[in-house]
Amino acid sequence: MSEPVLRARSVTRRFGDVTAVDDVSMSVEAGEVVGLIGANGAGKTTLIRMLLGLLAASEGSVEVLGGAPDRDRRARLGYVPQNLGLYTDLTVEENLEFSADAYRAQNAELPGRFSDVRRTLVRDLSLGAQRQAAFAIALAHRPEVLVLDEPTSGVDALARARLWDTIRQQAEAGVGVLVTTHYMEEAQQCDRLLLMVGGRLVGSGSEDDIIGDTRAIAVRTDDWAAAFAALNDADVPVILAGRDIRVPDTDPAQIDAVLDAAGVSAECEPVRATIEERMLVLARERPAQ
């Protein structure tokens, strides 16, 4: 097998007394889309910055395209950070030219769909258009590795679908992709998932692999507000989505007792947990440092 295009070996990063990333080992292969998921503060961005050579590891090591992330190897990367990495006082075209110079790329061009905005200042674009421009600029030098930190945040559903079409096209062409996302429907499009909680890698594989045998209780009641308040006050790991109440990894008898004490009539049905619920269970088991 060929070497992974990205690899971390037991990397740890500390900021004073805070351990942001704790003994994480992972890899991304060429042609693979790996989703890095976890709550805010889980350590995802810190891990990415170490992989890119933008932040030194306190312990462990990282490799990009078979070696340390030096200037030559970083020139073969495409990166979209959370803040997009664009200069808002430059036009889209000027941002492309700056990026092409930084990556020493020849004949870097924007797709034709940017023809109407190429001379527009980035600050005058909508957030969705800015994200699409950042994505296109990251691809303009034909990278071998793509690192995307929440690339579709703030983008409408149609634009997200188009960006994911592009991600899959890049993977099919042999590009290794590491992407973070808060959208679980996007996570399902990844070939493999890595779940971080409290700075540690606590799960990997498919969505089914990560969920495992975790179950949840769906609570059905007309008095959903009172049910949620009672469970929340009892420190039960309750999730409210609209008016749907779900409680992961909790004894149904405990839920019944809490609701009975609050005078709430409800039906409780065991169901398979979602990946978000599995994340909540793991977070409660291991609070962020």
User: What is the domain-level CATH number for residue 156?
Assistant: 3.40.50.300
The residue written with tokens 């909540």 in the block is 280
Q: Are residues 240 and 103 in the same domain?
A: no
Is 104 among the domain residues? yes
Q: Are residues 192 and 106 in the same domain?
A: yes
Indicate the length of the chain as a whole number: 289
H helices present in 19-156, as ranges:
44-51, 71-74, 92-102, 127-139
Containing structural domain, residue 249? 215-272
What's the pLDDT at 288?
46
CA distance 219 to 228: 9
- For 95-153, the pLDDT digits (tens) are 888 888 877 777 677 777 778 888 889 888 888 888 888 888 888 888 999 999 888 87
CA distance 141 to 136: 10
What's the pLDDT at 153?
77
* Number of independent structural domains in the chain: 2
CA distance 2 to 252: 49
What's the pLDDT at 159?
80
Is 278 among the domain residues? no
Q: Which residues of the chain have pLDDT under 70?
A: 1, 107, 286-289
Answer with the one of 140, 175, 210 that is the final residue of a domain.
210
Angle, in degrees to the nearest 10, between helices 127-139 and 92-102: 30
Q: Are residues 68 and 128 in the same domain?
A: yes
Nearest to 96, CA basis, from 60, 139, 62: 139
H helices present in 123-246, as ranges:
127-139, 157-172, 184-187, 207-211, 224-233
CA distance 36 to 273: 19
Q: Is 71 helix (H, G, I), strand (E, B) or coil?
A: helix
What's the pLDDT at 286?
64
Long-range contacts of 51-58 (CB under 8 A, 24+ apart): 51/6, 51/8, 51/147, 51/178, 52/77, 52/79, 52/147, 55/13, 57/11, 57/12, 57/13, 57/21, 58/12, 58/13, 58/14
CA distance 278 to 283: 9
What's the pLDDT at 287?
52
What's the pLDDT at 75?
84
Beta bridge partners, 218, equal 246, 269
Q: Are residues 118 and 251 in the same domain?
A: no
Query: What's the CATH code of the domain at 230?
Result: 3.30.70.790
Is 282 among the domain residues? no
Residues 6+ apart with CB under 8 A from 72: none
Q: Are residues 123 and 260 in the same domain?
A: no
Q: What is the 3-state secondary structure (H, E, C) of 86-112?
A: CCCCCEHHHHHHHHHHHCCCCCCCCCH
What's the pLDDT at 1?
54
CA distance 230 to 202: 30
Between strands 192-197 and 33-37, the pairing is parallel
